[in-house]
Structures are given as structure tokens and as C-alpha cells.
Amino acid sequence: MTHVSPRRTYYLVFLALMVLTAVTTGVAYLDLGPFNTVVALAIAFLKAGLVVAFFMHVMHLTNLSKLFAVGALVWMVILIALTVSDYWTRQWGVPAQGW
Amino acid sequence: MSETLTHSQHGTSPLQHQFDDLGQQWHANTIGMWLFLATEILFFGGLFVSYLVYRSTYPEAFAEASRHMDVLAGTVNTAVLIGSSLMMALAVQSAQLGANKLVQRFTLLTMFLGTVFLVIKVWEYYHKYTEQLIPGANFAYEGAMRHQVEMLFVFYFVMTGMHALHMFIGLGLLTYILILARRNAFSREYFFPAEVVGLYWHFVDLVWIFLFPLLYLIGAHYQGPVHK
């Protein structure tokens, strides 16, 4: 029914999260142009992945429960993709006449 | 299995009457919590996507505004919150092993770190007040792009405010776990309330993992004109 992780796993995940926090703070002071945001988000998603996988035990859920967890992510992607596809294309101009 | 557990331990069964056995109850509990978290993810997702639209429209104003964030306080709070998530994970693990004393200890540590986070947050809000950076009535920033700069502070207060509200609710839920542990309610067969509250607490941590770089760190390397 359930899986009990050893404490060492939790300590290692905690350590990884702390190191990644230090890295993301440090990198923010370097000017990488647009890559500042890319790196910040990559680290944030990595941290989130660690929390979901190990602290929230998502890997040990039943398949139906996993579907609910993955579904949340899918709806989130739809929310972002549809909103951005509107706002980021408004400056593309009016289509040529004759349509 | 559940039958023997219930009557030998405290007379009242942890097995709710609508379930066949504790395995089914656990399954329903985790699915229900993940469904609730999906609604929470979409709630905060709406805020994040609005942030995305405004920040991509006014990148320089947002970078400039972010320079007024207290990066040290934000970093310390990130560490405090990750620490509280570790304590929460250990509390859930103790519940899974039926170690009620340890559940109490780790739950108290989780609550302590959660409270430290909120105290630092209030201290930050107070400084934003004295620096007159609260959007609306108390916003005295006079540099260029004043209203666009103000927008980031709107996101800052709405998003960290909603996050803090979730932490207050989390502290209430942890109090409930503490009471259950004091009654020796957890066992190897029945630990679901601790696990479900743990999922909620880790979710609150997840939100902060994204809030911290997006609010505090986007101005750190900004070389643009310094206003004010």
C-alpha cells in the first residue's frame, strides 16, 4: 500500500535543494542576457521535480493517482500556452487584405 | 486487517464506513488531495501567467522594481521553507512507521520553521511600508515607468500574500496532526492524515520555489538606469 523512504533520502534531497537555492541566487548576479530567466526557471523546475518526486512520493502513487498529478501539470501547460499564444502574437500585425 | 486494528487499539475505527479497507481509503485520500492540489496549481497558475504577460510586456520596469526586493530575506526564507519541508517529510515518515512521539517532534519543528518564515515575511512587508512601496495608497516611487514598476509590487503582494495565507492554513492543519499524534492515532496501517497534510505543505513549498526567483532575483544583474 505504501512505501517508506529511508531518512537518508530526505536529507540528500534537502541538501540538493539548498545547493540549488544557492546556485540560483548566485547566478542571478551574473548578466547572462535572456539566459538569466532560462537558468532560473530550469533550476526552479529541477527543485520542484525533487520535491514532487521525493517529498510528495509521486513515484509511489497508484497509476490513477499519478494521472491526477500529471493532469494538474497538463492543465497548467494549457493555461499558459493559450494565454501566451494570444498576448505574444498581438503585435504580429493585421493579416493582408484580400482574405 | 482493519477490523483487528480498530478494536484492539482505541475502540473507534480509523476505517471510514464507506471504504472496503484501509488500502482503498488511502487510495481515495491521495487522489482527493491531488485533485485539490490540481485546483491550487491552476489558482496560482493564473497568477503566474498574469505575471508572465506583464513581465514580458515591461521587462525593464520589472527588473528595476525587483532591485527593491530584500534578496537576503528572500534567500533565508527559501532555506527556512525547504527546512520546514524536510521536517514535514520526516513527520510523515514517522507517521508511516507509527512513531507518534516523533510525529509530534517533527510536526512542531515544521510549525516552528513555518512561523519563522511568516515572521520574516511580515518584517519584509513592514519594510516595504516604511519604504513606501505598497501599491495603491502608499506608493512613493518616482522614477521612470512608475506604474509599470508598481505592477510588480502588485504581483509581489498578491502572490506572497496568497502564499502566506496558505501557510497560515497549513499551520492550522499541522495543529490537527499534532493533536492526532498526541492521541497516538498513527500506525503503520493508518497514517493518511499526516500524508495528506504533508502533500499540502510541500505544495506551499513548491509555490515559493517559483516565487523566489521570479520576484526577488530578476533585478540582481540589471544594469539599467538607477532611478531614485
Quick: pLDDT tens for A27-63.
Answer: 999 999 889 999 999 999 999 999 999 999 998 888 9
DSSP string, chain A: ---PPPHHHHHHHHHHHHHHHHHHHHHHTS--TTHHHHHHHHHHHHHHHHIIIIIS-GGGS-HHHHHHHHHHHHHHHHHHHHHHHHHTTGGG-PPPTT-
* H helix and E strand count, chain B: 7, 2
3-state DSSP call for residue B139?
strand
Percent of chain B beyond pLDDT 90?
A: 84
- Alpha-carbon gap, residue B183 to A96, rounded angstroms: 73
- Alpha-carbon gap, residue A29 to A25, rounded angstroms: 7
Judge whether residue B6 has pLDDT over 70.
no
Cell 496532526, located at residue: B177
Find all residues with CB under 8 Å of B202, minimum gap 6, and list them. A51, A52, A55, A56, B85, B88, B89
Asked if A29 and B221 come within 8 Å (Cβ–Cβ), the reply is yes
Packed helices B59-66 and B22-57: angle between N→C axes, nearest 10 degrees: 110
Q: The pTM is what?
A: 0.91
Quick: pLDDT tens for B133-165.
Answer: 999 878 999 888 999 999 999 999 999 999 999
Asked if A36 and B218 come within 8 Å (Cβ–Cβ), the reply is yes
| pLDDT for res B105 | 98
3-state DSSP call for residue B56?
helix
Judge whether residue A64 has pLDDT over 60.
yes
| Chain A contact for B198 (CB, 8 A cutoff) | yes
Judge whether residue B228 has pLDDT over 60.
no
Containing B134, the helix (H) or strand (E) segment is strand B133-134
Cell 484501509, located at residue: B22
Q: Please name the residue of chain B whose CA is at the shortest distance from the CA of residue A22.
A: B75
Asked if B86 and A14 come within 8 Å (Cβ–Cβ), the reply is yes
3-state DSSP call for residue B133?
strand
Asked if A31 and B82 come within 8 Å (Cβ–Cβ), the reply is no
Find all residues with CB under 8 Å of B215, minimum gap 6, and list them. B66, B69, B74, B152, B155, B156, B159, B160
| pLDDT for res B144 | 87
Burial B106-126 (b: 16+ CB within 10 A, else e): bbebbbebbebbbebbeebee
Query: Average pLDDT of chain A?
Result: 91
3-state DSSP call for residue B103?
helix
- Alpha-carbon gap, residue B226 to B65, rounded angstroms: 10
**Whether the Cβ atoms of residue B91 and residue B103 lie closer than 8 Å to each other:** yes
| pLDDT for res B150 | 95
Judge whether residue B2 has pLDDT over 80.
no
Task: Measure CB to CB from residue A21 to each of B52, B78, B199 and give the nearest one.
Answer: B78
Integer CA distances (angstroms), B182 to B86, B98, B192, in order: 21, 12, 16
Range B216-222 average pLDDT: 89
Q: Which residues of chain A are within 8 Å of residue B52 when distances are taken between CB atoms?
A: 80, 83-84
Asked if B49 and A79 come within 8 Å (Cβ–Cβ), the reply is yes
DSSP string, B4-51: HHHHHHTSS-SS-TTSSSHHHHHHHHHHHHHHHHHHHHHHHHHHHHHH
- Alpha-carbon gap, residue A78 to A47, rounded angstroms: 22
Burial B33-48 (b: 16+ CB within 10 A, else e): bbebbbebbeebbebb
| pLDDT for res A81 | 96
Asked if B42 and A76 come within 8 Å (Cβ–Cβ), the reply is yes
| pLDDT for res B72 | 96
Judge whether residue B55 has pLDDT over 50.
yes
Q: Are strands B133-134 and B138-139 parallel, antiparallel or unpaired?
A: antiparallel
Q: Phi first, then psi: what are they for B62, rounded to 5°?
A: -70, -40
Q: Please name the residue of chain B whose CA is at the shortest distance from the CA of residue A62.
A: B27
Range B70-88 average pLDDT: 97
Judge whether residue B11 has pLDDT over 80.
no
